[in-house]
Amino acid sequence: MGGENEGSVQVPSSREGARRSSVSQRLEQAADANVLVIYTGGTIGMMPTDDGYAPAPNFLKEYLKGLPQCHEAGFPELTLPLSRYGKRIQYEILEYEPLLDSCNIGMDDWLRISNDIEKHYDKYEAFVVLHGTDTMAYTASALSFLCENLTKTVVITGSQVPMALSQSDGMANFLGALTVAGHFCIPEVGLYFNNRLLRGNRCRKVDASGFDAFDTPNYAPLVTLGTSLDVHWHRIRSGSHGAQFRVAKAMSRDVTTLRLFPGMTLSTVEHIFSPPIKGVILETFGAGNGPDSNQEFLNILTRAHERGIVIANCTQCIKGAVSGAYKTGVVLRRAGVVPCLDMTTEAALTKLAYLLSRYEQQEDVEQYMQSNIRGEITMEEKAKFSLNDNDFIRKIAEAMSEAEGTNVDKTTNRIVKALGPVLLCSSASQGDTDMLERLIYSRVDPSASDYDSRSPMHLAAANGKIDALSFLISKGGDVNALDRWMGTPLLDAIIFGHDDCAQMLQKHSGYVVKSEFISRLLRAASEGDAALVERLCKFGGNPSDRDYDKRTALHIAAAMNYFSSTILCTVYFAAITQVAQHTSG
């Protein structure tokens, strides 16, 4: 186990000191998550009036401050109580003026919301957008396209009944959205409603008044909340690796939809394709079919396409996709209509508006309309690696099943469950991001740990595999996972001298348990390890912290006559003291 071969897994030595196990002790240093709540308006913050529900400016923040489940007294405004996952979520509210009814929201508002996310992107770990339900699916789709290279969680939510009224769904949706946004890095725009986080650009409003108002008929939920919170990581898209987050600054307004119906007049169709229209979403029957026997209808489409108008084909059906199996659909394709497969109308319209503002050539827009750029469309994929289908594992399962008299599939699942974490940790330690992706696709939890409770994040940090670390973070791996010695990935990165990994973990709210910071700092000082002393102080260690007999790292270094460590401790101690005095002054 102690081999020095290249590529071997480096495992830090056992940590001295008390090995605490109580929940309160293990969570005492859990980092806060900072979330920006962008309150655009909508039913969730309305108040009843003689004329019905109406927006109430400056009401929401004061209302939430008075609720113990929304703000814990004694903490900065606004802070949720400590969660079962060990985090206190701090949030601020950016309230729009005036507050908007979602029926009045348009492209300028989508651009405003996305620009606000960009403006505050570096300050907050996640974003929650409060919005009316009527056009929420459109806004969720638009934001998914406008936000390019997204690496943080954006959740849009609202309610069917104002939060301040009894029997409202508003409070559950608000707290659920905050919980998801504050605890997990899900680099997508999601829509949270009725205990489910749905992919934003897959959503449709399916119920005008019920609490289960939204659904994604062609895609399963990303997160479900019940007695437990289940994140379905294999359904979540990877965040952008290395590319800078940015927001598109324009959308084409020259787009529209045309919903076919039996007996539609040609003059209506002709009018829809008149200038200045540049793109049309054609909502067709069934699997993408239209009136193929009406040659003049097809001629109108052909002429429009020849003039440079992009025509995209979406089905009117709630579930299913545009297919080329029927002659009527093939005829539309020949007229220049591009199939959108299982894209919703909401996604197709906002995507088309986004693409037309980015690309001048009709061919480019048509190509991207048929491509999956934000998870909005289901593409036919080649078979991927699956542990359950692995021949070697299958043969072991067959042998075990024969001996035990059990079902082969159940035995296979048992083996996969046992091997998955081991393979994941091994891949992380070697920086094999391709294998990590395959394993997570096979539904192995990115935070799964080995027998010492060391997660893939620990191993990637300890071995300086920053690409693997970045990938695991993008997949929602726990940056603050605790191993059996109370060590976190950040502590491993510091101990093994991987500053780039440590910086990445700190950027994503990584922390070190305070008792471990103290013991490591004292030990480094006692051993004269000036480099480790410097790294520990650089990433949050405080040389003025004391051990059980009130001795600091400076005491230890001086007593051991370690000149370099003494100087470093003195410098960092002086710097911390100066900052503290400046802050208090």
- pLDDT (tens digit per residue) in 432-484: 988 888 787 777 778 788 878 899 999 999 999 999 999 888 887 888 888 88
Distance CA 212, CA 193 (A): 7
Q: Where are the alpha helices (DSSP H) in 184-326?
A: 266-272, 295-306
Amino acid 1: pLDDT: 37
Which CATH number fits the domain 516-585, given the four candidates 1.20.58.760, 1.10.3720.10, 1.25.40.20, 3.30.70.20?
1.25.40.20
Amino acid 32: pLDDT: 75
Which CATH number fits the domain 382-512, given the four candidates 1.25.40.20, 3.40.50.2000, 1.10.10.410, 1.10.101.10?
1.25.40.20
Number of other CB atoms surrounding residue 297 within 10 Å: 19
- pLDDT (tens digit per residue) in 13-61: 333 333 333 333 333 334 478 999 999 999 999 988 888 788 889 999 9
Distance CA 389, CA 429 (A): 24
- Give mean pLDDT, residues 306-311: 96
Domain ranges of the chain: 30-247, 255-369, 382-512, 516-585
Question: How far is CA 247 from each of CA 117, 128, 142, 354, rounded to the nearest angstrom?
Answer: 9, 17, 11, 11
Q: Which two tokens stand for residue 411?
A: 């035995």
> Is 378 within any annotated ligand binding site?
no
The closest alpha carbon to 480, from 85, 35, 16, belongs to 85
- pLDDT (tens digit per residue) in 194-222: 999 999 999 999 999 899 999 999 999 99
Beta strands 33-41 and 89-100: pairing type?
parallel
Q: Which two tokens stand for residue 14?
A: 């056992």
Q: What's the pTM value of the predicted model, to 2 decimals?
A: 0.68
Task: Give Cβ neighbours of residue 246 (< 8 Å, ≥ 6 apart).
Answer: 118, 148, 149
Task: Give Cβ neighbours of residue 553 (< 8 Å, ≥ 6 apart).
Answer: 521, 522, 524, 525, 533, 543, 545, 565, 569
% the chain with pLDDT above 70: 80
> Is 133 within any annotated ligand binding site?
yes
Q: How many residues does the chain have?
A: 585
DSSP-based three-state secondary structure for 278 = coil
DSSP lists the bridge partners of residue 526 as none
Distance CA 417, CA 356 (A): 46
Contact, 480 vs 30, CB < 8 A? Answer: yes
Residue-wise burial string across 430-461, b where 16 or more C-beta atoms lie within 10 A, e elsewhere: bbbbebbbbbbebbbbbbbbbeeebbbbbbbb
Is the pLDDT score of 234 beyond 90?
Answer: no
Amino acid 475: pLDDT: 81
Active site residue 133: yes
- pLDDT (tens digit per residue) in 325-384: 666 678 898 999 999 999 999 999 999 999 999 999 999 999 999 989 999 998 765 445
Tell me, yes or no, if the two domains 255-369 and 382-512 fold the same way: no
Q: Which of 40, 79, 133, 265 is catalytic?
A: 133
Amino acid 534: pLDDT: 83
Amino acid 11: pLDDT: 31
Of 34-43, 60-69, 390-399, 530-539, the one with minimum mean pLDDT is: 390-399
The closest alpha carbon to 522, from 14, 12, 15, belongs to 15
- pLDDT (tens digit per residue) in 315-331: 999 999 998 666 667 88
User: What CATH architecture is 255-369?
Assistant: 3-Layer(aba) Sandwich (3.40)
Contact, 162 vs 130, CB < 8 A? Answer: no
Amino acid 572: pLDDT: 55
- Give mean pLDDT, residues 392-404: 57
Active site residue 378: no
CATH superfamily of the 30-247 domain: L-asparaginase, N-terminal domain (3.40.50.1170)
> Is 134 within any annotated ligand binding site?
yes
Q: Integer distance in angstroms from the first to the last C-alpha of the chain?
A: 54
The closest alpha carbon to 313, from 303, 328, 296, belongs to 328
Contact, 348 vs 316, CB < 8 A? Answer: no
Q: Where are the alpha helices (DSSP H) in 322-407?
A: 327-334, 345-358, 362-369, 391-404
Q: Which of 40, 43, 179, 552 is catalytic?
A: 43
Task: Give Cβ neighbours of residue 40 (< 8 Å, ≥ 6 apart).
Answer: 96, 99, 100, 102, 105, 109, 113, 129, 130, 131, 132
